[in-house]
Amino acid sequence: MKPYAEMTREELASLKEQLIIQYKEYQGKGLSLNMARGKPCIEQLDLSMGMMDSLSSDADMTCEDGTDCRNYGVLDGIREAKELIGDMMENPIDNIIIYGNSSLNVMYDTISRSMTHGVMGNTPWCKLDKVKFLCPVPGYDRHFAITEYFGIEMINVPMTPTGPDMDMVEELVSSDEAIKGIWCVPKYSNPQGISYSDETVRRFARLKPAAKDFRIYWDNAYGVHHLYDHDQDHLIEILAECKRAGNPDLVYKFASTSKISFPGSGIAALATSQNNLEDIKKQLQIQTIGHDKVNQLRHVRFFKDIHGMVEHMRKHADILRPKFETVIQILDEELGGLGIGEWTRPKGGYFISFDSMDGCAKRIVAACKKAGVVMTGAGATYPYGKDPHDSNIRIAPTYPSIEDLRTAMHIFVLCVKLASIDKLLEEA
Amino acid sequence: MKPYAEMTREELASLKEQLIIQYKEYQGKGLSLNMARGKPCIEQLDLSMGMMDSLSSDADMTCEDGTDCRNYGVLDGIREAKELIGDMMENPIDNIIIYGNSSLNVMYDTISRSMTHGVMGNTPWCKLDKVKFLCPVPGYDRHFAITEYFGIEMINVPMTPTGPDMDMVEELVSSDEAIKGIWCVPKYSNPQGISYSDETVRRFARLKPAAKDFRIYWDNAYGVHHLYDHDQDHLIEILAECKRAGNPDLVYKFASTSKISFPGSGIAALATSQNNLEDIKKQLQIQTIGHDKVNQLRHVRFFKDIHGMVEHMRKHADILRPKFETVIQILDEELGGLGIGEWTRPKGGYFISFDSMDGCAKRIVAACKKAGVVMTGAGATYPYGKDPHDSNIRIAPTYPSIEDLRTAMHIFVLCVKLASIDKLLEEA
């Protein structure tokens, strides 16, 4: 098949007729498939069911330091959980706070605290006329929802294959005091699966922000979520790099076990400098007496240590790898060489990113929906839901079975083709 | 023994000499006893260990409505948890949100949201010159810490045996638009163990606040925490009473299972009107995808229903009743008729409140500490830690063994006597 752009109007029209027949066939099947959210599948959830037995009614509920996990106390997490999560995040336990079940909640609270009380003695953001955040795009919709909710102006920064456009980041951060943060998913990014290059991480650590209270919001959601045992992306650890660069307080790093143990019933954590930790704990001790230590202990008893967690993640990979490969194979086979779309080939994480021709994403997603396939909404990967090119679509291959995934992807490529033909016919 | 006030200087001085000998004896023992915080004791924690088996590795993790509890989703809690907690709180499930492990965190977030986004469309509090809260005193230090942290001015309202001074509450709330809330622990209050009378609850429901965004912060922390099976305090349910009074949106009601299952590993909840719930969910959906549903299911499977929970609370009562009775007995025997202190006789909750002669609380607590008995800090039961009479001391009898409690209380009454004599000698 030749590139669509090289086809005549007649060729396109004739192709469209054939494709519509296929599309209508799928429509007739009354399918209900969902590739919208990055949800683990049932087989993945089953991997952690052993955790339900790791604390039984006759279990010793005492921490290594003698603390009874069942009672009040321990604001920042039990030591053994800090050690496990510290190894996972590649940070010393002294830099870690263990939270509740949701890293999103930790990020929200971080912004909320900055609004009402400011960052390390600086003016609370609610007292400022304008607060801005940089948003590498495409990115994670729930990040953007937090900053939008707090009335923070979001500035798009294009992603490149090595991370955000660092020329633009450096220029903006060093010149505008209203810019207080940047949202980053540095490893197997959402939605592209891009991991920041060494140079990108180094440039982040060396930023010279105009605002003293500028922080990098480093959401390392997929730090240990590899698809392959050897072919893994590796990131320079940002806290250590910031410390080396003389910018120890520059970063808040977030992570959780949501996609390791159970979404909603895992443990979340923050890693940051001593100064930031002190600042945060002043607030945290007002907010709570402590998070769920029993669940922290449950995780530690189940995984035992970081090697146990890594072995556990290999089982996740064995389930997810064929799903990612199925999606990419169908995209390659069906759309390769047609010049109507581009897609990423992540080595980990939860998403594949697809870019259609400009102005086609919304119709593709709408057409998918009419054929029973729910995709993440077009535009969701951009601040305010506005994709200026209307081209980016996030594909979440983890939840459906491979069979459903195959069907859904065949419908998806069909919708891509149809939308592209319509676009070309309109333009011609 | 006659009242101290009727003793001569000589009698007081001679008594002091005897008491100091006793005090020094205790000091020599190198004791380390703690009656500072309302912590369940180990025997109480053991009561809930069966919960560790209520979800095992072969458990069905599906909710009644088919939701897989292990995966993402369900912002406001699973239906069966709402039913259990609804029965506990005496509210319909449609008025309930199930949260994470800490009702304190829910209260903090409620204030924080009001600061940044306001209440039901009203001006965010951070945009106002002045925000004030009414604080019935003595009260719960962690409530006061939240309002202090957000720079909210706290106004003391004296507690009476039937609840806060409602004449003062009505007068202030109806005349000052800056007053946005009042902290209440309506049942077995912290620290006095007072339950609000029917009239008090009715007057709360009929308040006519000057501020549209005034809310009653109804922390029903001890709703099912009775000491006696029949001799229980019963409260008019506030949401229903507000609805009847034509003030459906007037109250946020908080509760948790922290002192039913495990402190730090229980489930917390909020009950309020539909309008308030809608307002809150707008924020909650930005903050998190959902709370720990596995822990919600674990609680439901363990308690089964409200009757199961009530039976469970009888076991707590059997452990706590003798502790409360021990404290009160020693106070009665040692201080009765001396005119140097008053104490409450709660039928539930976690505390007994002691009022010394004015100006004695700090020295009593300090003297206790020197003899190895840690009490809640004097002043802690007042906003800003400032007890204007320096007289209130919170006694938390739940954690120590009865033997330790007896020793600690003997030291306590000794310190009360000594401080009172010193005070009387100074004044004479």
Question: pLDDT digit string (tens) for A324-345?
Answer: 999 999 999 999 999 999 999 9
Q: In tens digits, what is the pLDDT along chain B, a chain of 428 residues?
A: 799 999 999 999 999 999 999 999 999 999 999 999 899 999 999 999 999 999 999 999 999 999 999 999 999 999 999 999 999 999 999 999 999 999 999 999 999 999 999 999 999 999 999 999 999 999 999 999 999 999 999 999 999 999 999 999 999 999 999 999 999 999 999 999 999 999 999 999 999 999 999 999 999 999 999 999 999 999 999 999 999 999 999 999 999 999 999 999 999 999 999 999 999 999 999 999 999 999 999 999 999 999 999 999 999 999 999 999 999 999 999 999 999 999 999 999 999 999 999 999 999 999 999 999 999 999 999 999 999 999 999 999 999 999 999 999 999 999 999 999 999 999 86
List of chain A residues whose C-beta atoms are within 8 Å of the C-beta of residue B150: 116
CA–CA gap between residue B247 and residue B397 (Å, rounded): 38
Contacts of A72 (CB under 8 A, 6+ apart): A289, A290, B37, B39, B258, B263, B264
Which residue out of B146, B265, B281, B291 would a mutagenesis test of the A interface target, given it has the greatest number of A Cβ atoms within 10 Å? Answer: B265
pLDDT at A37: 87
The distance of B317 to chain A (nearest Cα, Å) reads 18
Of the candidates B42, B53, B58, the beta carbon closest to that of A68 is on B42
The distance of B139 to chain A (nearest Cα, Å) reads 16
Residue of chain B whose alpha carbon sits nearest to that of A108:
B287
List of chain B residues whose C-beta atoms are within 8 Å of the C-beta of residue A124: 126
The distance of A279 to chain B (nearest Cα, Å) reads 13
Contact A68 B45 (CB under 8 A): yes
pLDDT at B169: 98
Partnered with residue A226 across adjacent β-strands are A348
Residue of chain A whose alpha carbon sits nearest to that of B141:
A286
CA–CA gap between residue A389 and residue A376 (Å, rounded): 16
Which residue out of B123, B260, B262, B298 would a mutagenesis test of the A interface target, given it has the greatest number of A Cβ atoms within 10 Å? Answer: B262
Tokens coding A295 = 């669940």
pLDDT at A424: 97
List of chain A residues whose C-beta atoms are within 8 Å of the C-beta of residue B262: 70-71, 294
Mean pLDDT, range A222-239, rounded to an integer: 97
Residue of chain B whose alpha carbon sits nearest to that of A267:
B292
The distance of B4 to chain A (nearest Cα, Å) reads 40
Give the pLDDT confidence of A45-79 residue by residue, as tens digits: 999 999 999 999 999 999 999 999 999 999 999 99
The distance of A263 to chain B (nearest Cα, Å) reads 5
Evaluate if residue A428 carries a pLDDT over 80. Answer: no
Give the pLDDT confidence of A105-145 residue by residue, as tens digits: 999 999 999 999 999 999 999 999 999 999 999 999 999 99
pLDDT at B334: 98
pLDDT at B279: 98
Given a contact cutoff of 8 angstroms between Cβ atoms, the answer to whether A280 and A120 are in contact is no
Evaluate if residue A427 carries a pLDDT over 90. Answer: no
Mean pLDDT, range A158-173, rounded to an integer: 98
